[in-house]
Structures are given as C-alpha cells and as structure tokens.
Chain A
Amino acid sequence: MRIEHLKKSYGAVQAVNDLSFSIEEGSCFGLLGPNGAGKTTTIEIMEGIQEADSGTVYFKEKPIDRDFKKKVGIQFQSTALPEFITVKETLELFRALYPDPRDMDEVIDICSLQDILDRDNRKLSGGQRQRMLLGLAIIPRPEMVFLDEPTTGLDPQARRNFWKLIEKIKKEKTSVLLTTHYMEEAEILCDQIAIMDHGKLLEIDTPSQLLENHFDGALVTVPHTGRTDLGIKGAVYTETHLEVSTDNLDLTMNELLNSRLNLEGLSIKKPNLDDLFLKLTGSSLRA
C-alpha cells in the first residue's frame, strides 16, 4: 500500500500536507505523532472514508476503488455499535455485510471473544470492546488492517493482551497500519515507524534504525545545579539538567567525575522511542 502527495485541509488548518509513504505487504507499519498531527485524517483517507484534496492512495499498485472496502479491516479510534444487541449478534451482522466472511469460530478464537459472546455491546469494558472491534475488523479476511489507536485508554495488562492479538494477525501475513501514542507498543509491534507532525512526515525507518540515526550509545542526565560551563563534550544544558548523548560512556563519566559536579541524581539510559518522539516533535504542550 502506498500514498503519494496526500493533502487535506479543513478550512485554514492543513491537516495533511504533502504526505507520501509506502507499507510493505505483510508488515506492520506504525504511524506516530502527537495529538492533532494528522494521523487520523491520513488513515481515514487511506481507508477511503475521507477524500483527499489531492494525492492518490494505491493498493497493490492500483488507486483504491469501491472493491477496496471488501479487502480491508478497519478499527476506528471510537466506534459506536448498534445498541441492544450482543457481541455475537454484532459479529453476525458484520459477517453478513462481506462477500466472503471469516468463520465465526475463527474470529472468536483469534480475538478471544468466548467469554463475552452473549454480552450486550453497551456492557463491555474498554479491553473487551477493543477486542470485539478488532474482531469486526478481521471479519472480511482483510489483506490490510487499519488500527487507529486501538490501545488508547486500556490498562497495561489489557494492552499487552491486545498486542498478542495483533501478533496473531501479523502471522497471517496481513499488512497492518497502526497508530498509537505508546512508543513501547510501536517498538514491539512495528516493522517500520513513521513519525509525523503538523501533517508532515518527520522520520520513517525501522525502530532500531531510527534510534541509531538519532542517538549515540547512551543518554546521561544529571542535575547541573546552575553550573553550565563544565566543558563536557556533547553536553546540552536544559534549565535544570545536563544531558549528554554519548557513544563513549567511559569518557563522559570521567569528564563528569573530573568536573566535581555533584553526581547525585545521575541517570544513564539507552534512549528509546519516547526520547526520539520528544526530540522530533518537541515537548511543548498542545491540545
């Protein structure tokens, strides 16, 4: 699946600004970005739910058309379900909407829905609801699955359970596009990650390559207690802390010891995607 030069604006707001990338068949692609970055708009254009102002979405080298909907599974960020019907009835309803639906038992098995089949849609917990929505997404035997923030609001346990479901879907060689706020999740599940902000692509690569490109070795942080002229190589002084991204930890530690700075509060860690995310998108608050 591939998008080329997508643009979409709402009034004066440019939600998606000349965005292009491609997703390899059978891979899991993570689309990350802060709130309001344009993730949902992008994904909805790719699903064929919204129309782009310009640009094209290709699936298997052909622009998407009506038949595309028969081949994709979609899980929206928030979806209301028909009320007063049970999980099983909802699955049956959606099975009837597709020409070649997956067997009921298979859907129940993949998404672990056995316990909640007879429960009213309105009485599902957050995790159960997401499992059920994932079930709806895989009913068409999709070649491509879109998951828009499927684990937002779930507790850590439910989130990890959900990852297992996504792993199962990946094993079927289904391509997955996942948006998420959780870097850890993207790092574990995704083969490729794109970070976007203000409707534009900032970076795209495998998780490990992204980190390698932006960070060297380890990240050392220590409170500088007002001393900002310590002569340490590669040091960045924030308001309270001194940060050094270093590929030579021995050297940096020696420099710090020699500077006679109070090292209480020192931390050394391997940079992760969270750090990269903040580095790329900035840490200022936004709505």
Chain B
Amino acid sequence: MKQFTAIVRARTMEFVRDRGTFFWNLIFPVVLVVGFSFAFGSGKDALFKVGVMGDAAEGTFLSIEAVETIDYSNQELDGLLDKLRRHQIDMLIDFNSSSYYLNTEAASAEVLRTMSGADLGQFTEQKVEGEAIRYVDWLVPGVIGMNMLFSCMFGVGFVIVRYRKNGVLKRMKATPVTPLTFITAQMASRFLIVLATSVAVYAGTNLFLNFMVNGSYLLLLLITMLAILCMISFGLIFAARIKSEELASGLMNLLTFPMIIFSGVFFSLEGTPEIMQQVSRIFPLTHFIEGARGIMIDGAGLVEILPNLTVLGGMTVLFLGIAAFLFRWE
C-alpha cells in the first residue's frame, strides 16, 4: 500500500507540474464547448421539421421545400412527444388519429399552425410544452467524453510506453514493486486526474452556460467514473508491450479519431446509415455519451442507463484482462 500511494503521488505530481499538459487538459475542452456554443448556438435553421405518423395525404403544405418531413410511423407516441418538447422536431402529425401536436413554447408553432390550417382543418390540435435543448447542452457530455478519452489513452497508454522506452520501467523492475502495483497505481493516478479535470471542465463551463440536467448528478458521476475506468483499461492495452512511442501514438490516433467521429461527439448519429450506428456501439465513448446525454437531457434513471453501464463495465473487465495478458516490463 505504501508503494502504491507513493507511485500515485509521484505520477500525479508529474502531471500537475507538467504545466503544458495540465492546462491543455483543462482549457481545450472549455474552449471547444464555448466555441461550439457560440458558433452553432444562435438559433435553429430555418427549416421546419415535421414528424409524420401514418400515411400523409399528397399535395399538402408538407411538400413545401422549407418543410422537412420525417416518417415516424413505427414509433411510440411518447418518445415522439418528447422530441417535440425538446424542440428536436417542430410539429408532429398523426394521420391515423387525425390529430397534430405543437409545442407552445416554440416560435415555430404559430407559423406552422397557419401554414397547415388549410390542410389540417379537420384535425384536433394538441399542445405540449417544453424548453428547447440548446446544442451546447447536447454537446457538453460529448466534449467531456472526448477529453476523457484522450487523457486516458495518452496519459496511460502513451506514458507507459515512454517509461518502457526511457528505462523508468526497467528501474521499477529492479525494485521489489510488482507490475500489478505499478500499473494499478498508474491507473489510480490517471483516474483521479481525469475525474478531477472532467468535473472542473463541467463546473467551469456550467458557470456561464447553465446546462440542463434533468436526471441525477450522482448517476452522472457514476457513469463518468465507470467510463474513465473503461477508457484507462483500453489505453493499457497499448501500454502492455509496445516499445515505440511513435507506434503507440499512431495506433492510438488511428483508433481515437473514428471513435470521436462515430460516437456522436459533435453530431447526432440519428439519420446516418444503420451499419454506422451499429459499429458505433463497440466504442466505449458511445456508451458514455449516450448514457450521460440520457441523464442530462431526458432525465434517465438507473434502469434506463443500465445497458450503457453494463457495457462499460464489461468492456473494462475485458480490456483489463487483455492488458494483463499482454503486459511485459520490457
């Protein structure tokens, strides 16, 4: 235990005193969130998005170019109404029951009611209420997740490869420290660092962006911690045997970039080809972002995010197993 805490301490000091890396880890995500919220936060696009259930009649206002229709025939009404509440769609028309839904807090409601008046005169109007989710509310779990991924992969994977190359591992091997103690200490240090920076980035940006959190903070913390553990374990696989920093960094970049694109950090995968959405399920980042967005935006509880937690937990065990099997001091 004395060995463990001493190594955790040394590694954490190394990180905190490396000013460049330290500030990069803190500032980069903040700049991203603020930058994106400034760039994309200024209102929605002019297009009206109208969800349609059942067979739409031809030649209605739905054929106007400014109106995008999305066919939701096979989906549950409740989920679709949530989308309407969150301003993800502007209107929902159910041709089966001859009714339509509008969000009274959306600026588009009045326009759409007028536009559709001629076509939907016989339909009953129902109202829902709900504030818009801003892009930034949706973005923040993604950016924090991405930052976690970089920090875990490079902070553990890359650093241990560097230790192997420059001889720190060899020096450790010459002491009574076991690989298990050394590695778990590295993990623990990185875990504390990533958790602290994630909380700091969230709290810092929250000061002026006031994120929407409908679910429990405790649950948010839980999925964050599990995701960090999972990503550190993933990084350890690269740390297990590779001797060249160039190879390690190349491989990690090769894997992190698809993860960032396909895990839906910046843009929703909804509407992308089915195969892409399926592939994204193999990335830990996808499960963190999905779970965290669920908690923050949809107010999801433990039951709803249990599948994400289970996958993250399972992947952690799997990655740790592979890393332990592959690990060599030299």
Q: Please list the residues of chain A having a beta carbon within 8 angstroms of any beta carbon in chain B.
A: 47-49, 66, 69-70, 72, 74, 76, 78-85, 89-90, 92-94, 96-99, 136
Contact = CB atoms under 8 A, between A and B. Distances in A.
Interface in B1-58: 2-3, 5-7, 9-11, 13-14, 17-18
Interface string B207-246: 0000000000000000000000000000000000000000
A120 to B, nearest CB: 9
B170 A76 contact: yes
B168 A96 contact: no
Given A69-B175, A97-B6, A97-B176, A82 B14 contact: yes
Most buried by A among B6, B163, B175: B175
A85 B18 CA distance: 10
B171 A80 contact: yes
Nearest to A120: B17
B18 A69 contact: no
Interface string B166-187: 1110110111110000000000
Contacts, number: 66
B183 to A, nearest CB: 15
17 contacts: A49-B173, A69-B176, A74-B171, A78-B167, A79-B168, A79-B171, A80-B167, A80-B168, A81-B168, A84-B13, A84-B17, A85-B14, A93-B9, A93-B10, A96-B6, A97-B175, A136-B171
Given A85-B10, A96-B5, A80 B166 contact: yes
B43 to A, nearest CB: 46
A261 B51 CA distance: 113
Given A78-B167, A92-B6, A96-B5, A84 B18 contact: yes
A79 B17 CA distance: 21
Contact of A79 (B9, B10, B14, B167): B167
B312 to A, nearest CB: 31
Nearest to A90: B10
A69 B17 contact: no
Given A82-B14, A92-B6, A49 B174 contact: yes
A72 B174 CA distance: 9
A79 B174 CA distance: 11
Most buried by A among B2, B3, B10: B10
A93 B174 contact: no
A83 B16 CA distance: 11
Nearest to B174: A74
Contact of B176 (A78, A89, A99): A99
A25 B101 CA distance: 91
Contact of A49 (B5, B7, B14, B170): B170
Nearest to B11: A82
Interface string B192-210: 0000000000000000000
A78 B18 CA distance: 23
A47 B329 CA distance: 15
Nearest to A50: B330
Contacts of B175: 69, 94, 97-98
Given A84-B13, A85-B14, A97 B177 contact: yes
A145 B14 CA distance: 29
Contacts of B167: 76, 78-80
Contacts of B2: 96
Contacts of A89: 10, 13
Given A49-B174, A97-B175, A98-B175, 6 more contacts: A69-B176, A72-B174, A84-B17, A90-B10, A93-B10, A97-B176
